[in-house]
A = this chain, B = another copy of it.
């Protein structure tokens, strides 16, 4: 479920963070589902528990999960974070699209990329 890429320049805690936020956004981890414990996940990935701890902290700060003392961490309901995530991605999309047109990438080309994914989504 979680894996590390040691060639990735990003810090490990950030990789873990991104991976979980991805799994949650895509619904792979359902609402209220229990997250793996800090210790067990650290063991599984052979890394320092502090690193997992930090990832979980940031996930909680962003509203993806909430932790209950003595019980563990749990996936939060989607509505709590999905809006902010959409706003963030939307802004990024806007910027990148502007950049693409600036460097001479045609709108047709962009439409093609979009349609490619559109088909995939329909077929899911």
Contacts and interface: CB of A to CB of B under 8 A. Distances in A.
How many copies of this chain does one complex carry?
4
Task: For chain A, give the interface size range.
Answer: 35 or more
A103 to B, nearest CB: 5
Nearest to A76: B7
- What's the dominant secondary structure at chain A's contact region? helix
Contact of A114 (B9, B102, B104, B107): B107
A7 B118 CA distance: 37
Given A86-B105, A89-B105, A103-B25, A7 B113 contact: no
For the complex of A and B, list the 4 residue pairs with the smallest distance between their C-beta atoms, beginning with the closest. A7-B66, A107-B118, A96-B96, A89-B100
Given A6-B71, A101-B118, A107-B114, 4 more contacts: A89-B105, A93-B110, A101-B121, A107-B118
